[in-house]
Structure 1
Amino acid sequence: MTATIAADSLEAGSTSLLRFATAGSVDDGKSTLVGRLLHDSKSVLTDQLEAVSLASQARGQEAPDLALLTDGLRAEREQGITIDVAYRYFATPRRRFILADTPGHVQYTRNMVTGASTAELAVVLVDARNGVVEQTRRHAAVAALLRVPHVVLAVNKMDLVGYEESVFAAIAREFTDYATSLGVPEVTTIPISALEGDNVVTPSAHMDWYSGPTVLEHLETVTVAHDPTADPARFPVQYVIRPQSPDHPDYRGYAGQLASGVLRVGDRVTVHPSGRTSTVEAIDALGESVDTAWAPQSITVRLADDLDISRGDLIAPADASVRPTQDLTATVCHLHDRPLKAGDRVLLKHTTRTVKALVKDIPSRLTLTDLSQHPAPGELAANDIGRVVLRTAEPLPVDAYADSRRTGSFLLIDPADGSTLTAGMAGDAFTAHTGTADESWDF
């Protein structure tokens, strides 16, 4: 049985799954949009709606504030903003959804990186009164950086600009041009009013000039083309299983989650970074032996040879072009309030492996307004996107992020307190084009 057939069997009788994230500037209406989406698609339980109604009344509001369906933290409800990433799960007859409602404040851009890192689609909101602002550009850049394949521009609060088509058209044109220059492959633009419900779940009666899909219609029908089983197999070892049992004296299994591709019993594999080869002797999944495993299953792999393998090693097909290296050039988004500087000593976490690393150089920083590069900035401040050169204490089998979002990404960690400093994407994360097509900027 092939991985495709096996995967299809898991989906038999069920709808497909779409992971998406919302982003935008503060007060653009992200939480209201998500609340409206949940409410109008009848994905809100009665007791949840009653709790929101009571909280809204306590704040002097006559109608339920649908934004409170996602603003769950006490600090968020008191301030009326989103601080953390709020995850919600809902379904329609056509598709299941996992959504991440991310913060709009510039100091919480790091949370947008978290929410969009696994997303297949990003909804970027813009206030129709303000148009495209710097935070809009930052979120578009993050979406491009993280290789989110689909971006939706939702021009919100159209009711406050008289539902004017010209206002929507100007904003849509500016954003689309900017996102395209970042290398975003697909941009869909939708005029909405999250507060009134226009074009969120039901078509608007106020914008007869718009004939495209509503937000929910697009989410239900957008094609999620990427298949992780089509990529080369990558299996980061998380745990070595050696049961102290007389029934299994020679059992040695390597447990973890298959990051991409397919593994089969009998496959020739190489263990990185050591470079030693063996054959897959058995695969255990959910306590049973199987012939085939596919991403993103959690499995235990047993090899024919007794090799020295530990947490952080990567098992890949023997013919795969994996080249462990200690010199790494990457595009990063700096997340911490403390700047990242050349010469900093950090920890680098790649899949299940953590090693010491040195920041050798920071050759450039992205300027969001015109997509130019600021050469030799010396440091990256919070929310900056830039280029770094790293040297690791041990070789790492890192793929290019363009080839694999799982094995091409990493984190830089403060060795003193364990806080996350930077999210990194190995290789050329994206190519932006400014001016003419001949003026390409490889960031």
Structure 2
Amino acid sequence: MNVNSVSSTFLLIAFFVYLLAFFLFVLSITGKRWSNRDPEVHTKQWGFVAFLTSVFGFACHVTFFFTRWAEGGHIPTSNMYEFMTFLGMMIMCAFLIVYLIYRTPVLGVFALPIGFIIIAYASVFPSEVQPLIPALQSYWLKIHVTTAATGEAFFAVGFAGGLMYLLRAVDYKGTSKADKREQRGVELTLFFILMLIAFIASIFTWNGSGYKAVFSKDVVTTVEGVQQTIQQKETYVLPPIVKPYETEVVEMKPFLGMTEPLFTAPSWMEGASAGRKLNTVIWSVLGGLILYGLARLVVRKPLGAAVGPIVKGMDPEDLDEISYRAIAIGYPIFTLGALIFAMIWAQEAWGRFWGWDPKEVWALITWLFYAVFLHLRLSKGWQGKKSAWLTVIGFIVVMFTLVGVNLVIAGLHSYAGV
């Protein structure tokens, strides 16, 4: 068994241990209802067991990280698979740190799913160890990427705390316009989470079934003054609802009687794999709607109203404090990693500190957003619901910076999507 297979095994173990820890945290909160012991004692005991289980999962995750490092000869943060697994590891690390401070088992119910969803998302990408491209062959890879991901990990825990606060504070029995607006906001947040889960599930399902659709088009290029026509191919692993602009079907397995795509991507959608990305977005939205509809059918009420009772016993001020403290820890780390160290590395790699690359712009937007959050929190007294909504919106910005920019917008950081 080679080192790479050993590292992959440890990641798989970590994933399932995190799942077990999540269910143990759920048991610590809900099991007290039928336990004969004192509810507080029950929560503490099972919460401690869940915490130890999380620590074991984190140890397996760290083992994966270092064994993969040994296999590749460089820190495993150079592509989307490696970066997302590292981000998942740092989310778990941030969760363990915050948990040790506040000893709140319900935090594990909301923070752990973020970690193992990120790991599952990483598994969508090719996992082979790849050699570093020239731009990444620098010790700044270790410094910039690790600190930026650590800051984002604390933002994720802050998001979990903010979402918990909203589930605790939003009145699902209220009928005023403000109540309805807050209810829709929570439902939309939960829908986005389900949409990400649907995306991961659809990729795994269709990859496992061996589905493939291939499209091609002729592209004219000029090499040393000579025009050449080459055939450019685009491969889908999801059934093509939409095909790339000006392409022909080379291979397509029938899907629900559909032998060709329903429509073509618009001509204004330019860039690498634009049609495939649009197809993926459509599938993610459809999958999210199906999951949300099934969940609503099962619980027969808004999802926020169904999940809310889990945190009803929590003090809202404690949840507000958890969210704020996590972001307060993550912000200076993110500042160092995503801005200062990134600019130093950009100067070394590309000869300029700033170049308005999409990833640079969105990293700046993320930094400014959390700067505004901290300003409003400390200077204007924005606490409670206002603060919680900002943590939720902020993490959506973080996820777009990580996923949307890498996979949708072309730029110098597009290597991360390989």
Q: Larger helix proportion, structure 1 or 2?
A: 2
TM over 0.5: no
Question: Which protein has greater RCO, CA pairs closer than 8 Å, 6+ apart?
Answer: 2
Normalising by structure 1, what TM-score?
0.25
TM-score, normalised with respect to structure 2: 0.26
Point out the structure with the larger strand share: 1
